[in-house]
Structure 1
Amino acid sequence: MACALLPLFDLLAKAVARLPQRGLLGLGRALAWLAWPLLRSRRRIARINVDLCFPGLDATARRRLADASVVNTVVGALELLRAWHAPASALAGLADVTGLEHLRAAQARGQGVLLMCGHFTHTELAVRLLGEALGHAPRVVVRRHNNACLESWFERSRAAVYGPSIGKKDVRGLLRALSGGEAVVYSADQNFTYQNAFVPFFGVPAATLTATPDLVRRANAVLLPFWYHRGDDGRYHVRIEAPWPGWPSGDPAEDAARYMRELEAVVRECPEQYLWAHRRFKTRPPGELPVY
């Protein structure tokens, strides 16, 4: 996208962000249908992942789940625009938020909070809804876009809602935020090629970051699980849970495995809303063949 077109896109994004929820979800599904031929690669990855992770489903059910996840990924792009550009009035009554007492208790002790979540298709909208309930938004850790023009627009949009974002590899920035008592939304469920261990995710060895316990320890922070899903009625259910008992255990690989177990349980609640189009199993254990 040329930078010259960004002002036009900005206006369009703000208009989409203000749509009624039913209209926004319907538009997302329509765009997915229109773009279906262009999503061939993402559909293929999603189907491979679902085949690996849900062997108990028959082939038709697996195909439907994978395709539904791709549709939700397209819908999630519009939910991202809502997260960044919707006025608070457009979000009123759109979510149930529970578990705020866990976050407030940690911050009352002066601790930073690592809100551990996963790559669902509407993550940033859940963060925005949490921020509306709190009265102030948590910070977010993001992967920087390779296109400088888009990255500038993304960061400007995010910063207006959450404050300056923290780059995925900016460990010092993350530690500063946590040490300063801030809440930061963080996920480590994508493929990691460094500081990783192969731990089961839906029974499949997944290269998973093992550094999270050390980050929490160095910042004297607390990890709180942060989960969310969109209900059939279009409303969002956002919850913060108490810390996992026995985490960290002192064994980084076991702590990564615990994270994957907890995430898997949540994904099973609404599997079509997880980002199956990501190549989660790209890095394989020694001797195992590529799956993509």
Structure 2
Amino acid sequence: MPCFFQPLLQAVAWLAGRLPQRGVLALGRALAWGLWPALGSRRRIARINVDLCFPGLGAAARRRLADASVVNTVVGALELLRAWHAPPAVLRGLADIEGLDHLRAALGRGQGVLLMCGHFTHTELAVRLLGEALGRPVRVVVRRHNDACLERWFERSRAAVYGPSIGKKDVRGLIRALQAGEPVVYSADQNFTYQNAFVPFFGVPAATLTATPELVRRGRAVLLPFWYRRGDDGRYRIRIEAGWPGWPSDDPVEDAARYMRELETVVRECPEQYLWAHRRFKTRPPGEAPVY
């Protein structure tokens, strides 16, 4: 995105940060339908993923779910800007949080915490709400944007809320943050072409990172599941669970499969809020045909 578009984006961010919650959701839905023709590629990917993962649904129901997920992705873009730019008073009281004691207990022991989550459409807003409740920033691991001008603005916005972000491939930076006793939000549910194994996700073999247990070990940290969804009333339900019993095991592949099983259970609670527009199954097991 050329830099001369940045003032417009900043204006949208200012608006998204200050509208009432119902206004943000309504604006996001309106933008989604206004941009519908331009979202053809995302709609196609979402429909393929939903067809693969929900074969028990009828064709019309799968179409509705895929389209709803694309609408939520656009709404999520406004929620992202809201996470970065909303004054604290605007977000106050917008979330119900369970299990905060699990996180406080680990941090109180001086341990870093890897908050394991998934790619839902409002992840960074959930992180902002968690940080507000915790009373300290929660770090995020992100994919750097290819546009340098946009990336600079993204990073300034994120750093003001979460502290400096950690690049997706910056393993040393992630480990340093964990060793320093920081909470870091992390997800490994997108297509991985390295240190991966094919494990089931909704019954479909998915290339999944197997290095997460090693990250936790090297960071002298603890893993806590971090889940969230937006309710029909516009409020956010956030929960931090105790670590999964028996995780990590001695088998990184089984540990990756456990993560996918746990994530699948949560996705089924609100499947339309999951990022189905990502090519999750781009990398295929040997001999299997491409799906996109």
Shorter-chain TM-score category? over 0.9
State the Cα distance separating 1:208 from its structure 2 match: 0.1
Once residues 146 and 164 of structure 1 are traced to their aligned partners in structure 2, the CA distance between those partners, rounded to angstroms, is 18
Show the counterpart of 1:90: 90
1:93 deviation in Å?
Answer: 1.4
Q: Secondary structure at the match of 1:41?
A: helix
3-state secondary structure, aligned to 2:115: strand
Supply the RMSD in Å over aligned alpha carbons.
Answer: 0.7
Say whether the 8 Å CA contact 2:18–2:90 is kept in structure 1.
yes
Aligned length, in residue pairs = 292
Alpha-carbon distance between aligned partners in 1 of 2:11 and 2:32, rounded to the nearest angstrom: 21
- 1:240-271: CA deviation from partner (whole Å, max 9, x where unpaired): 00000000011000000000000000000000
Whole-Å Cα distance in 1 between the matches of residues 45 and 285 of structure 2? 19
**Which residue is 1:196 aligned to?**
196
- Whether 1:15 aligns to 2:15 is yes
- In the alignment, the residues of structure 2 paired with residue 4 and residue 207 of structure 1 have an alpha-carbon distance, to the nearest angstrom, of 39
Residue by residue, what CA displacement relative to the aligned partner does 1:174-232 show, whole Å, maximum 9, x if unpaired? 00000000000000000000000000000000000000000101111000000000000
Please tell me whether the aligned partners of residues 45 and 276 of structure 2 are also in contact (alpha carbons under 8 angstroms).
yes
Which consecutive segments of 4 or more residues in structure 1 shift more than 2 A? none
Question: Residue 149 of structure 1 aligns to which amino acid in structure 2?
Answer: C
- Consecutive unaligned residues of structure 2, counting only runs of 5 or more, are none
Name the aligned partner's letter for residue 263 of structure 2.
L
Q: Name the structure 2 match of 1:185.
A: 185
Give the letter aligned to residue 3 of structure 1.
C
- Could you report, residue by residue, the CA deviation over 1:15-52 in whole angstroms, capped at 9, with x for unpaired residues? 22110010100000000000000000000000000000
Distance 2:121 2:7 in 1: 25
What percentage of residue pairs aligned between the two structures are identical?
Answer: 83
User: Which residue does the alignment assign to 1:279?
Assistant: 279
Distance 1:27 1:290 in 2: 36
1:9 CA displacement: 2.5
User: Equivalent residues in 2 for 1:102-251 (5 A)?
Assistant: 102-251=102-251
Distance between the aligned counterparts of 2:10 and 2:245, measured in 1?
44
Preserved contact between residue 16 and residue 79 of structure 2 (Cα < 8 Å)? no
Q: SS in structure 1 opposite 2:238? A: strand
Amino acid at match of 1:171: V
Tell me what 1:32 maps to: 32
In the alignment, is the contact (CA less than 8 A) between 2:139 and 2:165 conserved in 1? yes
Unaligned segments of structure 1, at least 5 residues: none
Tell me which amino acid in the other structure corresponds to 2:224: L
